């Protein structure tokens, strides 16, 4: 009897902020020559020599910007850049026949257009019915007795729609991780946010970390006393009076980055219950306006955020690839309603 499940090491989104851990290490001036794997064993906690050696072989550990071999000996002044997968946990992945919108696929990578409402991978209260279950079925459908599970490179929230990049091999995952670390990945999102932005474009910078009051919520720490550095660039695309459509471009990829940054500057995403955007934050006191906004919330009962495009270098061929997606129907309908409303109102 075949077993159609597989135990797979995945990143646990409830415990870690990012899919990868990044390190930059400058070798001390007084350091004696030492094999790099041995040297790193003494510098990084809870990492095995096998993981270090595997990461070196996959090009995920660079010295002065160049790949090295396991027997390379570090010397004073060397700059070592490291990308590790975050500590995994075992989760049973069941292949499930869930429809996928596959934008691109080859032997090494996949690009999918994730619908809003679909969780990326199993976790607390979402043990199946996820994108990872669907991908496992797609890759294993020729022999479901031997499930094949892809490698996650990044994530987008359950309520966010849009383009997601998946690796089919560990080597592809590692090389793509380096691109994310080097900020060479091009990622643009479309969002609808409360309020009329005073500037046509701007830059939001502030460390992001989990709130001490609610671990599900991310908070901005502008002084950098906690969390990880995060930078979001935004540009106004269209103004609807009480809400604004903006394009957001990420330098970093922190959990809930756009949602937390937008709340931080006083413009929570429309219908974002986690960050306070599911209430009327701007507008009039007229009952007709309240009814209009309530109808808008019903059209889009999630945060108004879509991962529209993604550009990167293919991890194996070196070709530059770029993928774009249409704004989903619920956001499109919402924009139509606000466009019509603002055209017929005198909004200050």
Q: What are the residue numbers of the active site?
A: 157
Could you count the other beta carbons within 10 Å of the beta carbon of residue 113?
A: 18
Confirm if 151 and 166 have CB atoms less than 8 A apart: yes
Evaluated on CA atoms 187, 191, 194, 196, the torsion sign reads positive
Residue 106 C-alpha from the chain's centroid: 22
Confirm if 156 and 113 have CB atoms less than 8 A apart: no
Confirm if 193 and 244 have CB atoms less than 8 A apart: yes
> How many Å apart are CA 324 and CA 347, to the nearest integer?
33
* 134 Cβ contact list (under 8 Å, min separation 6): 96, 97, 98, 99, 100
Q: Which helix (H) or strand (E) holds 264?
A: helix 257-264
* 342 Cβ contact list (under 8 Å, min separation 6): 239, 240, 241, 242
Residue 72 C-alpha from the chain's centroid: 34
* 306 Cβ contact list (under 8 Å, min separation 6): 160, 161, 162, 189, 190, 191, 325, 327, 328, 331
Report the helix count and the strand count for the chain, using DSSP H and E: 7, 20
Evaluated on CA atoms 27, 31, 35, 40, the torsion sign reads negative
User: In this structure, what token pair is assigned to residue 263?
Assistant: 């709340």
Confirm if 12 and 88 have CB atoms less than 8 A apart: yes
Instruction: Convert 158-188 to b/e letters by CB count within 10 Å (16 or more is b).
Output: bbbbbbbbbbbbebbbbbbbbbbbeeebebb
287-299 and 329-343 helices, crossing angle to 10°: 160
């Amino acid at each position: 009897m075949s077993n159609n499940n597989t135990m797979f090491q995945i990143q646990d989104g409830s415990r870690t902020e990012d899919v990868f851990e990044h390190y930059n290490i400058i070798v001390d001036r007084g350091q004696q020559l030492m094999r790099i794997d041995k040297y790193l064993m003494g510098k990084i906690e809870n990492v095995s020599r096998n993981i270090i050696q595997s990461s070196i072989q996959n090009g995920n550990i660079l010295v002065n910007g160049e790949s090295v071999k396991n027997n390379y000996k570090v010397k004073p002044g060397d700059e070592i850049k490291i990308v590790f997968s975050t500590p995994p946990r075992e989760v049973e992945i069941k292949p499930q026949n869930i429809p996928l919108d596959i934008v691109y696929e080859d032997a090494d990578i996949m690009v999918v257009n994730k619908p809003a409402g679909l969780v990326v991978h199993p976790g607390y209260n979402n043990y199946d019915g996820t994108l990872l279950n669907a991908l496992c079925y797609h890759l294993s459908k020729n022999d479901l007795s031997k499930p094949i599970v892809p490698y996650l490179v990044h994530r987008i929230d359950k309520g966010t729609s849009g383009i997601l990049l998946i690796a089919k091999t560990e080597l592809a995952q590692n090389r793509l991780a380096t691109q994310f670390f080097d900020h060479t990945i091009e990622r643009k999102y479309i969002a609808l946010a409360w309020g009329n932005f005073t500037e046509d474009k701007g830059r939001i910078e502030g460390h992001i970390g989990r709130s001490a009051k609610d671990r599900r919520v991310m908070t901005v720490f502008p002084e950098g006393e906690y969390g990880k550095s995060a930078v979001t660039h935004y540009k106004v695309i269209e103004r609807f009076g009480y809400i604004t459509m903006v394009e957001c471009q990420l330098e970093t990829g922190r959990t809930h980055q756009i949602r937390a940054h937008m709340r931080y500057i006083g413009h929570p995403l429309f219908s974002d219950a986690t960050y306070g955007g599911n209430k009327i934050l701007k507008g009039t006191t007229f009952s007709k306006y309240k009814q209009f906004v309530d109808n808008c919330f019903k059209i889009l009962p999630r945060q108004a955020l879509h991962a529209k495009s993604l550009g990167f270098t293919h991890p194996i061929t070196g070709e530059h690839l770029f993928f774009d997606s249409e704004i989903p129907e619920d956001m499109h309908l919402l924009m139509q309603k606000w466009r019509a409303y603002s055209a017929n109102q005198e909004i200050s």
